[in-house]
Every structure is written in structure tokens, then in C-alpha cells.
């Protein structure tokens, strides 16, 4: 009787499952038929002729964008972009570029070290006038980029106008395979304290970290700071290989779970570490995502490193590549990943949107407690919360507007033209005379910025008039208005400390390229200082 009951229950479950699957398949068939009907009527009756490749491509992209921001379709024509994203390599001259709206042209913003652009003598600020004889006036930055890129070994003619020079410069540049270093800078930031800045996890990232760590130990590093701020992630395998350098062999780093069995996998440290004992800190911020969070989270869960900074992005999804018809690829979210404590740090719920259509975050009240190897409590959802939580930057609006403006870029170009040399990277400062020159330059450039305080004040004044309070409080409103009135020179002086920091960082990039730029940003860096303090405390504990 018992066996018969079990068999009947199994039959009911199988029947229910089959019915559910049939319903699901029926929904798919019905909606595909609807989509086909709508497209055919659009194709037949729409007032203008439509390109089917273009229209259907729109449909695919819009559909995937509603799923999550990480699921993407790459057509056969997009494969070059995909390879660049996945490997970090492309054929070109090796330079960052930016579009200046005030001159409606694209300019060189930073040539990469030892690249064709650098070897040709291009510098930041050079205005791209033509490529292979074609005037680039009004070209978008995408159009310029497409013309600069090409097969390694091919040559193109570039004409640039250097600010301050009457004649243009013409040069022939041969493209090479370009791959930006993922460790643009490493070094000793204090006696015995090694520092590695890692920008991504594309192919070769672990190799660069291994070289840097080995070299730092030769230089006398007895502790390490790994900087993952702004690192948006990449390959899970590269992340695991990096963890393997500082964690004993055989430790679980991350595991994935998905709907399909093929999406479930476990990753362990698979090689003997370079150093599993040296005190270590990892720097993170809101731009640290994906593989950065795997590294930081695994090292936190294994109690191998102190995490310092602000809460990370919170990407707990894993993507896989699927071939699709027509020679394209579908990058598809196929699972979630879990770090050693068992937590998933996915912060955003793309299946349950807010009433306004925005993506909701997992509230802290709904996160769960997990425990590190040493028993310290940590939580899932919402990214990695650092062990040492630093305050978020609170910059004045004028600082953001200044850094985003063409005037900021133009001032750096102006400064370089007036100063053949500057102090070493990490030591660049502006004198009072330099800052006065900067204010004069910005005034002549008629730099525009948003005074948020005045905007809020104007709104308050409007509401006070509407509700009848204004006449009674007019004197107070007049006094406040005089305080909030925009005065460019005064606002630039008031925010000198923050603005000067950004100017000096840009100048370091101009004179010393990316390596020097990174070194300059470490000057008076409170997050780095907090990490070094934590490392020193750990060393004292070990020694005692």
C-alpha cells in the first residue's frame, strides 16, 4: 500500500510538471506568433520601408535590456567589439580620445605608453583634423574611433593640430595590437608596503599581478595593498588565479549555481601561493564589481585580507557565452555566484521593479548573516561591505561640473604648453600664482556650472510666493539670495583643495602617462592611509 501511495504521488507530480511545462511552452508559442504578426504588419503597412535587420536588432536589444544589464547580443558585425571587451586587445594606435563640443572635434586625451601613438609623438590635447585625408569635423567619437582602429600592421595618415602651433602635423602611423596593462602601476608606497593597482580581469590580468607581487617581494615588500577601486571585473578564472597567489592551495574561492547543471561549478585555489602570510588589505568602492567582488569577498570570507573603502557594486550574476544563428553571440546570465561563506552579494532585483520602473535593491533588513572562516559575521546582498568603511566623497557640484567640462581639459593643455616640466609624479602641486592663472583661464573661458544651492533656493522662493509666505520673509530671502549668488572666482577659491587635486591628477597623466597618473592619485589618499594603518596593526599583532 505504501509503495502504491508513493507511486501515485510521483505520478501526480510528474503530471503537474508536464502540465506546467506545456503551459509555459504554449505561452512562448502564442507570444512568438503575436510578435511575428506585429512585425509582418509593420513591414507591410508602415508608411516607410524598414530594414528588417535593423528593426529586429532593435527588438532584440530592447528585450535583453529589460532582462538585466549584463545579458547582451553581439551580431557578427559586433564581434570585434566583443573580442576587445573579453581580451582587452584591439588593433589601433593606442590612445584614449575625447570629443570637445566647443570645437566639434575629437582630440587625443592620453596616448598609451610605448604605443604607436606615443612613439609618433602625439600628446594630450592634439586635435584630430583628418584621417586618411578625410576631415573629421563634426564626426562623433565613435566614427573617429572606428577609423583609428584596424588590422595590426596596416598604416594610416593622421593630421593633428597642436594648440599654440600655426601649422598642422602630418604623420603616418602603423597600427599594432594594443592591450592596456591591467596593472598600470605597482610599487612600494611605504617601506615594506607593496601596492598593486589592478584595473580589470581580462586575459592576462593574473599574470601581471603575479609579476608585480613577485617583484615587490624582491624589493622588500612584507605586506600588500591590492587596489580594486573602479575595477568593473571580468573573467572568474583570472580572479581565482589571483586569489591563489595569497591563499593556500585547495581552498574554495567561489561556486556558481544556475538553472542548468552546466551552470553549476566550483572553483578552488589550484597552485601553491606566492605568499599566504603577509598582511594584506584590499581597497574597494562602488565601482568594484563582479570579479573584483569575488576577490575581495573571498579574501574577506577566508579572513585573508582587510577590506577597506566603500560598499561595492553588488553584482552576483555570472554570464556565459552562447552561439546564435547568423554568427553572433549571446552573453547570457546563467547563474549566481557564491563566495566561500556561502553568501551571494547580488544587490539588484531585476525581476521585481519599483513602481516607477527603477530597479530595486535588496534592503539591508532582508539580508542574511553568514560567517567567515574565523567566525566573523558578514552579510549577503548589497555587495561587499568593507571591514573598514570609509565615508563617501562629498564634493561640491562645481567640482563635478569642472571635471566634466571641456574647460578642465583645455586648462591642462594650456598649463602643459606653459610648463615644459613639472615635479615628479606624486609630488605635483599648484602654486598660488598657478591657481590664480587657472581662475583667470576659467573666467575667460566663461566656465558654466550649476549652483545647486541657488536652484533649491529659487524653488523655495517660488513655493513661498505660491503659499503666501514670501512678502513676510522677503528680507530674509534677499539676504540668502546674496549669499547664494554665483561668483565663479569665489567658488573656485572656496573649493581649491578638491579642484587642485583633479588638476594635478590630470597633469600627472599629461607628463607621465597612466603610470604617473595613478601614482599622483595616491597622494593624500585617506583610503590608502587607512589600509596601511590596518596592515601595520596586523604586523604588530603577528610580531607579538
Residue spans of the domains in the chain: they are 89-179, 185-389, 397-451+486-527
Q: Is 165 helix (H, G, I), strand (E, B) or coil?
A: coil
pLDDT band for position 350 (cuts 50, 70, 90) = confident
459 has a pLDDT exceeding 90: no
d(CA 455, CA 449): 12
Is residue 364 part of the annotated active site? The answer reads no
Question: Are 447 and 488 spatial neighbours (Cβ–Cβ below 8 Å)?
Answer: yes
d(CA 238, CA 142): 30
Q: How many CB atoms lie within 10 A of CB 172?
A: 9
In a 10 Å sphere around its CB, with 0-12 CB exposed, 13-18 middle and 19+ buried, how is residue 509 labelled? buried
Task: Let me know how many helices (H) and strands (E) the chain has, helices first.
Answer: 16, 23
Which range has the top average pLDDT, 123-137, 347-361, 483-497? 123-137
18 has a pLDDT exceeding 70: no
pLDDT tens for residues 478-528? 887 777 666 889 889 999 999 999 999 999 999 999 999 999 999 999 999
pLDDT band for position 15 (cuts 50, 70, 90) = low
Residues 431-453 as b or e (16 or more Cβ within 10 Å = b): eeeebebbbeebeebebebebee
Which range has the top average pLDDT, 12-16, 26-30, 420-424? 420-424
Our measurement of the distance from residue 321's CA atom to the centroid of its chain's CA atoms, rounded to an integer in Å, reads 21
Which one is catalytic: 109, 235, 288, 290? 290
Nearest to 523 by CA among 213, 292, 209, 195: 195
d(CA 453, CA 485): 9
Segment among 229-233, 397-401, 436-440, 539-543 with least mean pLDDT: 539-543
Q: Measuring CA to CA, how many Å separate 499 from each of 197, 211, 259, 496?
A: 23, 35, 50, 5
Q: Measuring CA to CA, how many Å separate 443 from each of 251, 410, 416, 492?
A: 59, 13, 19, 10
Return the CATH number of the domain spanning residue range 185-389: 3.90.226.10
**Helix H or strand E encompassing 369:** strand 369-371
Q: How many CB atoms lie within 10 A of CB 109?
A: 19
Nearest to 388 by CA among 329, 311, 320: 311
2 has a pLDDT exceeding 70: no
pLDDT tens for residues 191-207? 999 999 999 999 999 99
pLDDT score of 377:
96
Which one is catalytic: 95, 223, 315, 405? 315
d(CA 281, CA 129): 46
Q: How many CB atoms lie within 10 A of CB 138?
A: 8
Region 7-20: mean pLDDT is: 56
- Give the chain's end-to-end CA distance (angstroms, integer): 70
pLDDT tens for residues 395-409? 888 898 998 899 899
Q: Which residue has the cell 507511486?
A: 7
Which one is catalytic: 227, 301, 380, 505? 301
Helix extents (H) in 380-468: 397-404, 406-418, 432-444, 452-466
Is residue 262 part of the annotated active site? The answer reads no
Region 297-317: mean pLDDT is: 96
Nearest to 282 by CA among 300, 256, 263: 300
Q: How many CB atoms lie within 10 A of CB 185?
A: 21
Q: How many CA atoms lie within 13 A of 159 on its CB side?
A: 11
> What architecture is domain 89-179?
Roll (2.30)
pLDDT tens for residues 41-67? 989 999 999 898 888 889 899 999 888
pLDDT score of 335:
92
CB under 8 Å to 420, separation ≥6 — which residues?
none
pLDDT band for position 452 (cuts 50, 70, 90) = confident
Strands 328-338 and 252-258: antiparallel
pLDDT score of 150:
92
pLDDT tens for residues 368-392? 999 999 999 999 988 999 999 999 8
Is residue 301 part of the annotated active site? The answer reads yes
- The pLDDT mean for the chain works out to 90
Region 278-303: mean pLDDT is: 97
Amino acid at each position: 500500500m505504501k509503495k502504491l501511495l508513493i507511486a501515485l504521488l510521483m505520478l501526480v507530480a510528474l503530471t503537474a510538471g508536464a502540465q506546467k511545462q506545456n503551459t509555459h511552452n504554449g505561452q512562448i508559442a502564442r507570444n512568438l506568433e503575436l510578435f511575428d504578426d506585429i512585425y509582418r504588419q509593420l513591414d507591410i503597412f508602415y508608411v516607410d520601408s524598414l530594414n528588417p535587420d535593423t528593426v529586429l536588432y532593435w527588438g532584440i536589444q530592447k528585450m535583453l535590456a529589460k532582462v538585466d544589464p549584463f545579458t547582451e547580443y553581439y551580431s557578427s558585425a559586433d564581434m570585434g567589439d566583443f573580442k576587445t571587451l573579453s581580451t582587452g586587445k584591439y588593433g589601433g594606435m593606442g590612445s584614449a580620445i575625447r570629443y570637445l563640443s566647443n570645437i566639434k572635434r575629437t582630440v587625443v586625451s592620453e596616448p598609451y605608453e610605448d604605443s604607436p601613438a606615443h612613439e609618433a609623438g602625439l600628446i594630450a590635447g592634439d586635435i584630430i583634423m583628418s584621417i586618411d585625408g578625410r576631415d573629421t569635423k563634426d564626426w562623433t567619437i565613435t566614427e573617429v574611433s572606428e577609423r583609428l582602429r584596424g588590422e595590426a600592421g596596416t598604416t594610416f595618415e593622421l593630421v593633428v593640430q597642436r594648440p599654440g602651433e600655426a601649422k598642422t602635423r602630418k604623420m603616418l602611423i602603423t597600427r599594432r595590437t594594443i592591450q592596456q596593462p591591467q596593472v598600470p602601476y605597482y610599487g612600494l608606497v611605504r617601506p615594506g608596503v607593496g601596492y598593486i593597482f589592478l584595473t580589470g580581469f581580462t586575459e592576462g590580468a593574473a599574470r601581471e599581478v603575479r609579476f608585480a607581487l613577485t617583484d615587490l617581494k624582491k624589493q622588500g615588500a612584507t605586506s600588500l595593498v591590492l587596489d580594486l577601486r573602479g575595477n568593473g571585473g571580468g573573467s572568474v578564472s583570472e580572479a581565482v588565479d589571483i586569489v591563489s597567489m595569497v591563499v593556500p592551495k585547495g581552498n574554495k574561492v567561489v561556486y556558481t549555481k544556475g538553472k542548468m547543471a552546466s551552470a553549476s561549478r566550483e572553483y578552488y585555489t589550484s597552485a601553491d601561493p606566492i605568499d599566504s602570510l603577509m598582511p594584506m588589505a584590499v581597497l574597494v568602492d562602488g565601482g568594484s564589481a563582479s570579479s573584483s567582488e569575488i576577490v575581495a569577498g573571498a579574501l574577506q570570507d577566508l579572513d585573508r585580507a582587510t577590506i577597506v573603502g566603500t560598499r561595492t557594486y553588488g553584482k552576483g550574476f555570472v554570464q556565459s557565452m552562447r552561439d546564435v544563428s547568423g554568427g553572433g553571440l549571446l552573453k547570457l546570465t546563467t547563474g549566481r555566484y557564491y563566495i566561500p561563506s556561502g553568501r551571494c552579494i547580488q544587490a539588484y532585483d531585476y525581476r521585481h521593479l519599483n513602481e516607477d520602473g527603477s530597479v530595486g535593491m535588496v534592503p539591508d533588513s532582508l539580508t542574511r548573516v553568514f560567517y567567515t572562516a574565523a567566525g566573523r559575521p558578514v552579510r549577503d546582498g548589497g555587495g561587499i561591505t568593507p571591514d573598514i568603511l570609509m565615508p563617501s566623497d562629498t564634493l561640491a557640484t562645481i567640482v563635478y561640473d569642472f571635471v566634466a567640462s571641456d574647460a578642465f581639459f583645455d586648462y591642462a593643455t594650456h598649463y602643459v604648453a606653459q610648463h615644459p616640466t613639472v615635479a615628479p609624479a606624486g609630488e605635483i602641486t599648484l602654486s598660488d600664482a598657478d591657481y590664480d592663472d587657472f581662475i583667470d583661464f576659467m573666467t575667460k573661458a566663461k566656465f558654466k556650472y550649476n549652483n545647486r544651492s541657488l536652484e533649491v533656493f529659487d524653488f523655495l522662493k517660488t513655493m513661498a510666493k505660491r503659499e503666501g509666505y514670501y512678502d513676510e520673509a522677503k528680507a530674509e530671502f534677499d539676504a540668502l539670495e546674496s549669499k547664494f549668488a554665483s561668483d565663479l572666482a569665489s567658488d573656485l577659491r572656496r573649493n581649491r583643495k578638491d579642484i587642485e587635486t583633479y588638476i594635478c591628477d590630470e597633469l600627472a597623466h599629461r607628463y607621465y602617462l597612466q603610470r604617473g597618473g595613478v601614482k599622483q592619485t595616491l597622494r593624500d589618499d585617506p583610503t590608502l592611509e587607512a589600509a596601511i594603518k590596518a596592515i601595520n596593526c596586523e604586523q604588530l599583532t603577528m610580531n607579538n
